[in-house]
Structure 1
């Protein structure tokens, strides 16, 4: 099924007799396998409103992400939250859609300082599990009373409703970028340095450490963006701040800096390699100790250590070493994903709240049933 309008989408959901497997571009195959009829949103495509002066855009949920980014780039603007391209990591094809990005709350390295995808959403239109069209939010950032369905739908993975349209805030492209690089730091030393940089007044927009950088060696990376002179000054200040940690060089070439952060954003070190991929959200200071307790793993630390991507041998029980935070089994075989809770099991109060929301928005339990279970 591939509706071309929101009305068709509502009719298809209302008429469904069984489970529906919701698909945007098919690039983010995460979660437990869903058995059901495929419902594709790619027909709900097109940018219906773009006001560069107001930094806002409205687009159909099935609009390719590449089309969104091209339109923004033509005006010297960008998506603030830097969504990753997970096709290489997950072994998927197709084109990522803006609705899929929102449904996954896909947020890249810039999230550590600027916020997540949900923080830039202004409004949504979606169809719930009963076939009702629901609208929430608008085209400007404002405080509202009642349910904030805009944020609720961001990260729901299509289990509460099928997005038909999204509106969001965008930001200008920076004039310049500088990246501080240091090779050979231990995980603990690297995370301590990233924390110090993020706590400084020098407006860091990316902070990462990789076991395997672009050239294969461990590398610690700190990004600064903004006006040319300001970037140069802030890079100098950060070098002085971290002089006791190691020698940080500065990369200013636009192509090289962009490639380096795509390497992190898209988790390139784990692409095309055997093993399971876990995604951990933890306290940065605890991250190196967690990784050290797991045998045979490789790590990509993002968000100053608050996000950890792990490449682990098949069957690794990552959750056994977590004292806090949560872990998602991001990539594994269908058999493993069917047997293991993919998303972190919730405490009883939160699980009850989630169940209540799903009963309200999808009373027949037909939208991606079990995907997040």
Structure 2
């Protein structure tokens, strides 16, 4: 495959402009950590890996700017030196795809978030500004380096989750936040998934500022060293506050059983594994789905799918995020990787989104990887595409 390697934002603009003039489709990559997400394409690769480096960082202003292909790991290491973090806790695709942590541009374009989304939101909720090149080959910028910089349409947020289909990001500014002094996890052992969802929702309703709420059924819990299923609640902050809130939360959840506690070191390892869906990813040939529904619907959706397909499921976001692993060798999965069964189950339990996160290229070529859009939303997306990329050269067919 032919690859374009622009050395700086100006060369990105020139490369896209030339592609637009020649009607040449482009696939945008940085470290290629998410190249296996979405439908495959034969487009020429626009490799942004030369666009690295932090261009602005003022710890006192809680803002950081970096070129789009700057590794997330590099940014997180820099922030850690100043006891700060990307509060949306971006997922690494290393466990799913065997790749690295990805780039800051990829964070925004896929709108990443981890377990802390229930408290802090996703990448789109922390972006302050962006510099990018449209599919017309025109450079533009939106937002800035402070929180209150939006006077009209919030273009920076609008590009979040677009997977590069609207513009090629060259530089991004994110809001950063102080890192918690410590963290701890309350563990409720042995709950079935529906009871676990009830416990998680009860915890989210308690005034204790939960920053992570997940449930690992027995298979996933065992892979993380637990002897029984584990319902997990994370608290972060100053040590005295965390200790007091743990006591308060444990008392509130007493009807669900006797709780156990994990310290900061064990909690850090555990929540990183949950963030990256690591308990499901160890079987490299399994098909992985990511399902987003209402919190109490998560276990019901997983059970409905499990009645028709042999699956393993784990839950995050208080039960609203279901990670599902399916054995591709099982005949009931069918040629569509279980998409029909999975999306019917989601629709019958209040609706939501199901995304095929990991599958061989031949499956991704024929299965709608992302949730099909309703007519109104599809029309809106088409109008946005016509404005930003009228010739359709950016990531054609990926989503």
Pairwise CA RMSD of aligned residues?
1.2
Residue 180 (str. 1) matches residue 186 (str. 2): yes
Instruction: State the secondary structure of the residue aligned to 1:66.
Output: helix
Shift of 1:75: 0.6
Q: Is the 8 A contact 2:93 2:100 kept in 1?
A: no
Q: Match for residue 338 of structure 2? A: 316
The offset of 1:162, in angstroms, is 0.6
1:358 alignment counterpart? 385
Deviation at 1:34, TM superposition (A): 1.5
1:304 alignment partner in structure 2 = 318
User: What residue number does 1:248 align with?
Assistant: 259
Question: Offset at 1:338?
Answer: 1.1
1: CA distance, partners of 2:123 / 2:12:
24
1:94 Cα deviation after fit? 4.7
Q: Within 2, Cα distance between the matches of 1:233 and 1:346?
A: 45
Q: Distance in 2 between matches of 1:99 and 1:134?
A: 16
**CA deviation map 1:264-299 (0-9, x unaligned):** 001111223132111111011111111111231111
SS at match of 1:294: helix
Shift of 1:24: 1.4
CA deviation profile, 1:217-264 (whole Å, cap 9, x unmatched): 421110000011000000000100001101111112x22110000110
Tell me the distance in 2 between the aligned counterparts of 1:164 and 1:124: 8
Equivalents in 1 of 2:69, 2:313: separation in Å? 33
Conserved? CA contact 1:190–1:209, under 8 Å: yes
Q: Secondary structure at the match of 2:111?
A: coil
When residues 308 and 95 of structure 1 are mapped into structure 2, their CA distance, relative to the original with a 3 A threshold, is closer
250, 271, 289: which is aligned to 1:261?
Answer: 271
Give the TM-score, by structure 1 length. Answer: 0.97
Structure 1 residue 146 displacement after superposition? 2.5
Alpha-carbon distance, 1:165 to partner: 0.3
Residue aligning to 1:111? 117
Residue 90 of structure 1 deviates from its aligned partner by 2.2
Distance 2:165 2:135 in 1: 9
- Alpha carbons 1:137, 1:150 under 8 Å: kept: yes
Q: Which residue of structure 2 lines up, in the alignment, with residue 148 of structure 1?
A: 154
Match of 1:223 in 2: 234
Gapped runs of 5+ residues in structure 1? none
1:15 to 15, 18, 26: 18
* Aligned twin of 1:190: 196
Residue number in structure 2 paired with 1:43: 50
Give the structure 2 partner of residue 369 of structure 1.
Answer: 396
Listed one character per residue, the Cα deviations across residues 143-174 of structure 1 (whole Å, up to 9, x for unaligned) are 62332111111111100001000001111111
Match of 1:63 in 2: 70
CA separation in 2, counterparts of 1:281 and 1:349? 20
Change (3 A) 1:328 1:250: same
How much does 1:187 deviate?
Answer: 0.3
In structure 1, distance between residues paired with 2:378 and 2:267: 42
Find the counterpart in structure 2 of residue 347 from structure 1. 374
Contact 1:27–1:94 (CA<8 Å) still a contact in 2?
A: yes
Uncovered stretches (5+) of structure 2, i.e. residues with no partner: 329-336
Is the CA contact (8 Å cut-off) linking 1:225 and 1:231 kept in structure 2?
yes
CA distance in 2, matches of 1:177, 1:162: 37
Please give the residue correspondences for 1:263-302 in structure 2 after superposition, counting only pairs within 5 Å. Answer: 263-273=273-283, 274-295=285-306, 296-302=310-316
Aligned to 1:207: 213
How far does the alpha carbon of each residue in 1:324-364 deviate from its partner, in whole angstroms, 9 at most, with x for none? Answer: 11111111111111111111001101000001111110111
Contact 1:26/1:95 (<8 A) preserved: no
Kept after mapping to 2: 8 A contact 1:182/1:249 = yes
Q: How far did residue 313 of structure 1 move?
A: 2.9
Distance in 2, matches of 1:79 and 1:58, equals: 12
- How far residue 82 of structure 1 moved from its aligned partner, in angstroms, is 0.4
Number of residue equivalences: 370
After TM superposition, what 4+ stretches of structure 1 lie above 3 angstroms from structure 2? Answer: none
Counterpart pick for 2:89 among 60, 82, 105: 82
CA–CA distance in structure 1, aligned partners of residues 93 and 101 of structure 2: 11
